[in-house]
Amino acid sequence: MSTAIAAPPLLLTQRRIWIIFSALIAGMLLSSLDQTIVSTAMPTIVGKLGGVENQAWITTAYLLATTIVMPIYGKFGDVLGRRNLFLIAIALFTLASAGAAFSTSFWTFVVFRAGPGRRWADDPFAGHHCGHRPGGPAR
């Protein structure tokens, strides 16, 4: 009969809690800035790219990406750990934002706005995904 050795409990110091909280707030700040700036500038951006008649595709692609990607990110959060997934999502968000900024056509703008990392990073409750959820490992 072997005895399993339990892992020591994770010690969250006050400093570590503030670092975690600051990282989550920074992610939410990215989301807020993106939504505020792009929503305000959308008519101008679409007009310059020549897609005024198809402007609804930007919102549709964004919502469709949300619907598809959220359950996948939930599973990846369980497998990879929510911290790692949060960092990957921020990196994808940054790359998709850069792609959208340098888009030369309306349809490339739509594709970059619906990029897979964008929605998870744009989630106003992103902190929920980084915390412990029942049924999933806390990493």
pLDDT in tens, 11-70: 888 998 999 889 888 888 887 887 788 878 888 988 998 888 888 888 888 888 878 887
Angle, helices 56-80 vs 106-113, to 10°: value is 30
pLDDT of residue 18: 92
pLDDT of residue 127: 46
Provide the pLDDT confidence category of residue 1 given band limits of 50, 70 and 90: low
- Verdict on whether the full-model pTM lies above 0.75: no
CA distances from 6 to 3, 11, 13, 82, 137 (A): 9, 15, 21, 22, 15
pLDDT in tens, 70-79: 788 888 888 8
Which one-letter amino acid corresponds to residue 44? T
pLDDT in tens, 79-118: 888 888 888 888 888 888 888 889 999 899 888 888 765 6
